Amino acid sequence: MENLYIHVPFCQKKCDYCAFYSIENSSRDLQERWLEKLKVDLEKNTHRLQQVKTLYFGGGTPTIPDPDLLEKIFRTVLAEIHLMPGAEITSEANPETITAERADILGKYVNRISMGVQSFREEKRKVLGRHPVSAEKIFPAMKNLCKAGLKNIGIDLMYAVPGETLAQWEDDLKQAVDLGVEHLSAYALTPEENTPYAIAHGLKAADDDLASDMWHTAANILAEGGMERYEISNYAKKDHEAEHNCNVWSGGTYLGLGPSATSFDGTDRWTEQADLTAWLNGAPPEWDRISRAARLREIFIMGLRTVNGWKKETFSAATGCDIWCDAEAERILKNLQGQGLIRFDTAKCCPTKTGLEFWNTIAEQLIL
């Protein structure tokens, strides 16, 4: 495995819409116990890791620990692995935690930041139950990160939030462009079961037509700002695509450590317990074992989330297999081409713009 994901399961306060595993208000003692166990797990798994091409600290909020502990986390992980020259090292971050001191630490150990913003507008953040509701910390956080020498900064935005108009969404996008970020992920709000948001508002997603207009608008405004769409929900300036995520979409292997983290070794996928206490006590991960044929289809489908899709030879290199020789898959692909959802020939297969927007339809037809 050449890609490592570390799940830091701590947040200041849970956002109402969030279904990721994290706990709020954790003590320093608990954070230190998490790091001790992480170190043990890393040592146990070093045999799985080759030189690391991408390292990703996700969460939760990786930037929440006190600055000295934050530095210790980076040092501990980096001491256990061998990084490839030019490796991408990402940390997720929340603007409220990016003081000048933490930004300096990030500048020392990582070369890419993915910052959770969701919206610049207080009212929308309130509907989402995003904490804090005020967006005032975003600009100083960006300033601190730039001062610390970070040159590859991305943010996440959410759209299709109840009550949001197209004009308001355009304004969020323009503010993101003005902020000068290199990468942007834009996700339509999809209420997740059992979250405080779903309990308060139900599971109904926004009006399809409005959500579609917003998706198209994102591509137009971000392209004007120099960021092109390269995956359904991801946009980047040239050469600033998220390598860690591209690896996942292209069927690459990865090791995930920390509660709720997922690993994939090319055949099996397994997920650590989404429960810090159970994970600290050594509860085993859950295994997702499916047939090789189903796994190959799954990898192929994931690749069709990207604008470039698959070249015949890249799919063979990633999987050691040739889906173009699978008569049933070929029949479905021709069908999808007839529906205008993909472009498909003997050398490559990629989604059309409609196919990207309706990727679920492609996935439903191809899944085994």
- Rule CB under 6 A: which residues touch ligand SF4? 11, 14-15, 18, 20, 22, 59-61, 94, 116
In the bound state with ligand SF4, the residue whose beta carbon lies nearer, of 205 and 290, is 205
Helix, strand, coil percentages in the chain from 3-state DSSP, rounded to 5? 45, 20, 35
- Least Cβ distance, residue 124 to ligand SF4 (angstroms): 14
The residue type of 143 is K
Helix (H), strand (E), coil (C) string for 94-150: CHHHCCHHHHHHHHHHCCEEEEEEECCCHHHHHHHCCCCCCCCCHHHHHHHHHHCCC
- Least Cβ distance, residue 248 to ligand SF4 (angstroms): 18
- Least Cβ distance, residue 120 to ligand SF4 (angstroms): 16
SS3 295: helix
In the bound state with ligand SF4, the residue whose beta carbon lies nearer, of 87 and 117, is 117
- Least Cβ distance, residue 96 to ligand SF4 (angstroms): 9
In the bound state with ligand SF4, the residue whose beta carbon lies nearer, of 94 and 152, is 94
The residue type of 287 is W
Which residues lie across from 311 on neighbouring strands?
348
- Least Cβ distance, residue 23 to ligand SF4 (angstroms): 9
Short-list 358, 336, 360, CA closest to 349: 336
- Least Cβ distance, residue 287 to ligand SF4 (angstroms): 25
CA distance 368 to 365: 8
What's the token pair of residue 60?
A: 């939760």
In the bound state with ligand SF4, the residue whose beta carbon lies nearer, of 18 and 257, is 18
CB atoms closer than 10 angstroms to residue 75: 12
Residue 109 and residue 148 in contact, taking contact as beta carbons nearer than 8 Å: no
- Least Cβ distance, residue 19 to ligand SF4 (angstroms): 8
- Least Cβ distance, residue 60 to ligand SF4 (angstroms): 5
- Least Cβ distance, residue 169 to ligand SF4 (angstroms): 19
The DSSP annotation for 36-85 comes to HHHHHHHHHHGGG--SEEEEEEEES-TT-S-HHHHHHHHHHHHHHS-EEE
In the bound state with ligand SF4, the residue whose beta carbon lies nearer, of 141 and 329, is 141
In the bound state with ligand SF4, the residue whose beta carbon lies nearer, of 93 and 336, is 93
* Residues 200, 204, 206: CA angle, nearest 5 degrees: 110
- Least Cβ distance, residue 118 to ligand SF4 (angstroms): 8
In the bound state with ligand SF4, the residue whose beta carbon lies nearer, of 94 and 245, is 94
Which residues lie across from 187 on neighbouring strands?
158
In the bound state with ligand SF4, the residue whose beta carbon lies nearer, of 11 and 155, is 11
Which residue of the chain is nearest ligand SF4 when measured via CB? 18
In the bound state with ligand SF4, the residue whose beta carbon lies nearer, of 116 and 355, is 116
In the bound state with ligand SF4, the residue whose beta carbon lies nearer, of 176 and 296, is 176
SS3 227: coil
The DSSP code for 155 is E
Instruction: Write the burial class of residue 356 (CB in 10 Å: 0-12 exposed, 13-18 middle, 19+ buried).
Output: buried
- Say which residue the tokens 């490592």 belong to: 4
Could you tell me how far CA 195 lies from the centroid of its own chain? 19
CA distance 138 to 142: 6
Give the relative orientation of helices 67-80 and 28-45 as an angle to the nearest 10 degrees.
10
